[in-house]
Amino acid sequence: MALLSKFIYLFGAKLRNPSLMGIYSALKKTEFANYDELEKIQLDKLKTLLKSAYQYSPFYRDLFDAHNFDPEIETLSDIKALPTITKRDLIEQNAQIHSQQQFKKTLLAETSGTSGEALAFYRNEEWDSTNRASVMRCYDWYNVKPWDKNGYFWGYNIEQGEAKKVKLLDWLQNRIRIFRYDDESITAFAKDLNSAKFLSGYSSMIYQIAKKVNALNLKVSGIKMVKGTSEMILDAYQPEVKKAFGCKMISEYGAAESGLIAFECPEGSMHINMENVYVEIDDNKEIIVTNLASHSFPIIRYRLGDYISLGEAKCACGRAHKVIKEIYGRKGSSILGTQKEYPALTFYYVFKNIALKDEILINYKAEQFECGTVILKIEGQPTPLWEQLINREMNKYFGDDLRFSVEYIDKFETQTKKQQYFESFIK
Ligand SMILES: [Zn+2]
C-alpha cells in the first residue's frame, strides 16, 4: 500500500497541482537560509504581490490610491502605511478583491469561521501548491510524507449520503478515520493505527481519543507525529497524548485565507513559514498576516482574529525562521465584570499560571451569561484544591469585580466545531 499511496499522491498532484514539486524543492533550498536571506525573499515576493494587487484588484487599487501608497516598497515595514483588512472585507468586497488577472488554473476555497460567516474565494494553482509544499516541508521534520498512512480526527458525524465520498477520499489519501466513539470502535481504530505514521485533527478530539486509548489500556506504536490544528492545544492534553501515542501533540497554525503560518519543529518552536507569509503583530498582540502567494485574491495586512506573541528566532533545530512564542487564541468577546471589561484571554493566563506554578493541568471552558459572574466548566471530579488555586489566580486578575462558580463536567463533549475557551452569551 505504501508505494501505491505514494504513486496516487504524486499522480494526483501532477494533475491538480502541477507546480507542487518545483515549489517544494525551492522551499527545501531555503530551509536553513539565514534570517536576512529570508527577509530578502519576503521583500521580493511582497513587492510582486503589491504590484499585481494594484494592477489587477479593484479593491486594492482604490485602497492604495486612497492612502497614496506606492507598491514599489523599499522595506517590509513600509506596508504599515496600509490599513488592515478583516474577514468582513473579504466577504463584503469579495468580487472587488478578486484579481482580474487570467490564471492558468484556479481552485475554489470555502471556509466558515467560528462566527459562522462563510467566505468563498479562488486560489491560483501556485498559491494552493505553495500551501501544500509548505506543509510537506514541515512533515519532513518528523520523517513523515503526506502519503503515509495516517489517522484523521475530524468530525465523525458524517451524513449518510456523504459517507461513500468520504471513504473514497480517505482511501486515496491513505487515511483512516474513526466514525464512532464506543469502546469497540476505538479498540479497532487503535489497532489499525499501529500501521499509521501520523495523526492529525482537532486537538480536543485527539485528546479525547487519547484518554480513551489510555483508559482501555490499548497500545499504539509507530506514530511519528501527532498534529493538532484549528484549536488551541491545552497543556492538559499533552500527558494523555504522549502516553497514548508516544509523542506530544505538535501544532500547525494557519487558515484558508492566510495559508500555513507556522509549524512546530521537533525542538518545540513554532517557526513562521517566512517564505510565504509576512506576519506582524499590533499593540494588542493581534496577528496581522500577509499571504505572499495570494495573487488571485490578495490577502494583505489581514486580521485573522488571533492573539499571539513572537519569540526569538534562534532555535536549536538550526532554522532561522521567526518563531511564534504563543497563540493565545481567538479574539473573543470581552469578559464583563461589574465595573470593568477584560480581554477574553485572561482565563488563558489564569490556568496557565496554575499549570506553571502548581504543576496542575486543568481542562476548562469559561462561559458568561450575566455581567459580574462567570461559570467555569472544569473537566473532572470536584476538587477543593483546584478551586483554591483558581480562586487565587482569579483574584489577581479580577479582584471583587468578577465572581465565579465551578461546574464539574465528567468529560467535555468532543465538538466538531471550533472550540473557544471563553464564550459570552451576553447580547
Ligand atoms: Zn526549530
Q: State the distance from the centre of ligand 1 to the C-alpha of 314, rounded, in angstroms.
A: 8
Q: If you measure from the C-alpha of residue 141 to the centroid of ligand 1, how many angstroms do you get, rounded to a whole number?
A: 10
State the SS3 of 228-252: EECCCCCHHHHHHHHHHHCCCEEEE
Helix (H, G, I), strand (E, B) or coil at 304: strand
265 C-alpha to center of ligand 1: Å?
5
Residue 225 CB coordination number (10 Å): 22
Rounded CA separation 234/119 (Å): 28
Q: In whole angstroms, what is the distance from residue 319 CA to residue 302 CA? A: 26
Going by the DSSP 8-state scheme, the letter that residue 372 receives in this structure is T
Tell me whether the CATH fold assigned to 1-331 matches the one assigned to 335-424. Answer: no
Cα 390 to middle of ligand 1, angstroms:
34
> Of 110, 49, 119, whose CA–CA distance to 82 is shortest?
49
Distance 328 CA to ligand 1 centre (A): 20
- For the chain, which residues make up each domain, given as ranges? 1-331, 335-424
Residue 317 C-alpha to ligand 1 middle, in angstroms?
Answer: 4
- CATH code at 335-424: 3.30.300
Mean pLDDT per 10-residue segment, the chain (427 residues): 82 89 98 97 98 98 97 97 94 96 92 65 96 97 95 65 75 81 87 94 84 92 91 83 96 93 96 98 93 98 92 90 86 82 81 82 87 91 92 93 91 53 79
Longest pairwise C-alpha distance within the chain:
65
State residue 282's pLDDT score.
Answer: 93
Residue 164 alpha carbon to ligand 1 centre in Å: 40
- Residue 264 Cα to ligand 1 midpoint, Å, equals 7
Residue 420 has a pLDDT of 60
- Which of 293, 271, 318 has the alpha carbon at shortest distance from 138? 271
Among the four given CATH numbers 3.40.50.12780, 3.30.70.100, 3.40.50.1820, 2.130.10.30, the one describing domain 1-331: 3.40.50.12780
Q: How far is the CA of 261 from the centre of ligand 1 (A)?
A: 14
**Cα 180 to ligand 1 centre (Å):** 36
Which value, to the nearest 10 degrees, does the dihedral of the CA atoms of residues 417, 419, 423, 427 take? -30
* Helix, strand or coil, per DSSP, at residue 399: coil
What nine digits make up the cell of 53?
Answer: 494587487
Q: Say how many Å lie between the CA of residue 267 and the centre of ligand 1.
A: 5
Torsion of CA 190, 192, 193, 197, to 10 degrees: 180
- What is the pLDDT, as a whole number, of residue 161? 64
How far away, in angstroms, is 251 Cα from ligand 1 center? 13
Q: Helices (DSSP H) in 76-124: which residue ranges?
A: 87-92, 94-97
- Please list, in sequence order, all residues whose beta carbon lies within 8 angstroms of the beta carbon of residue 404, skipping any fewer than 6 positions away: 373, 374, 375, 376, 390, 394
- Are 275 and 41 in contact by the 8 Å Cβ rule? The answer is yes
CA neighbours closer than 13 Å in the CB half-sphere of residue 39: 10
